[in-house]
Amino acid sequence: MSVWALGINHHTAPLDLRGRFAFALDQIQPTLHGYRQSLARQPEATLLSTCNRTELYGAGDQSAVEPTLDWLASMGGVSPHVLRDHAYILREDQAARHAFRVASGLDSMVLGEAQILGQMKDAVRAADEAGALGTTLHQLFQRSFAVAKQVRTSTEIGAHSISMTAAAVRLAGQLFEDLKDIKVLFVGAGEMIELAATHFAAKTPKAMAIANRTLERGENLASRFGAQVMRLADIPDRLHEFDAVVSCTASTLPIIGLGAVERALKRRKHRPMFMVDLAVPRDIEIEVKGLDDVFLYTVDDLASVVQTGRDNRQAAVAQAEAIIDAGVLSFMHWLEQRDPAKGVVPLIQQINAQADAWRAAELARAKKLLARGEPVEAVLEALSKGLTQKMLHGTLAELHAGDAETRAATAQTVSRLFLREKS
């Protein structure tokens, strides 16, 4: 049984390529089912997809890795060669270390951020419900969650970190003299928009509005911040009203197009607009970035802002890496025990099988003696002696074999196994 991780992230692939491989949470189950059905031997599998990464973790035969890359490339509509140029394939302890680092927030754009842990748990739950999560990956992820908890409670990895949404507020403050004078539109009603609304609300802007595909969900979020609610279809007609726009939906196509923004700017008499697109794939067409009066930022554009304070957390990173190293060693030890070529489990099974064979042989002999009318006490005595001789034969033979040094080492082992005091 081998484990591996195959994926792309913000370190290896540009935003538009990552957008091709974005999967909403409700797509994970059918996607995993299709992936496993595409292979002759179905591996355990878990699919993690966020704005910064898409990763497929597997456990099974290593020969499944290359077909997995081909399958993932086809899902994104690119050639395997293109995907291979931007992907990483990690195996065994490197795959485990990567999973632990991701869960702990060490591989995130925002160092130490906690949101990824919840996203991983959602992905694992979806894999389990899809029937794709076996014993090996279950162990891998449960251990990764435990390591992440230890990192978060034992180190200051999350201290002074700046989230994407906090970075957006900071950038908006650099553009506008006073955020109390602006109107903000939030497109979507998910976790990222909720965080963004929380950060902007703390600056008490003049007005806020939530645009969402489902009005009910938009209303639930808007009620918390005293914001207006509107439909996505209303955005083109009302976009000019807002000085700042923050968008993060699960749409596979842009929500806000170039034409809509151009018309909004015209109605605003070209007063500047601040726009943040936190979605992958994009919610706002990339051409909008070329407009003179629009300041558009994507998740990748915010990278330099969220790095602030990273140097102050390097000591915590070192502590976290040590915790992760210990977790990796523990997981690999568990995995090796399950490996017929390396582990002790097969040896234990062989010892039990041998003991059962000896027991069965002596029991059969005892039954024959009883059938011939031999005294019960004599039969039991013979049974116990027979079992004892069989079980000690190999040990006693080793004590008499080899040179003096070998016999001394064997004697120590035998003493430890047979003569130790009960604890």
Binding-site annotation, residues: 50-53, 108, 113-115, 119, 188-193
Handedness of CA 95, 96, 97, 99 (dihedral sign): positive
| DSSP structural state of residue 156 | -
Closest CA to 410 of 394, 423, 421: 394
Contact 59, 2 (CB under 8 A): yes
DSSP E strand boundaries for 70-206: 88-91, 183-187
Handedness of CA 116, 118, 120, 123 (dihedral sign): negative
Length of the chain in terms of residues written: 423
- Between CA 366 and CA 362 the distance in angstroms is 6
Residue appearing with tokens 């009960």: 422
3-state secondary structure 92-111: HHHHHHHHHHHHHCCCCCCC
Dihedral over alpha carbons 48, 53, 59, 61 (to 10 degrees): 140
What residues does 230 pair with on adjacent strands?
211
Residue environment code for 197-222, b if the CB has 16+ CB neighbours within 10 A, otherwise e: bebbbeeebeebbbbbbebeebeebb
- Between CA 33 and CA 131 the distance in angstroms is 8
Closest CA to 191 of 242, 250, 144: 250
**Annotated active-site positions, please?**
51
User: Residues annotated as binding site for NADP(+)?
Assistant: 188-193
Instruction: List C-alpha distances in Å: 356 to 204, 222, 350, 362.
Output: 76, 69, 10, 10
- Between CA 307 and CA 110 the distance in angstroms is 7
Quick one: residue 290, left, alpha or beta (phi over 0 = left, psi -120 to 50 = alpha)? alpha
Instruction: List C-alpha distances in Å: 82 to 72, 77, 86, 201, 371.
Output: 11, 10, 7, 42, 77
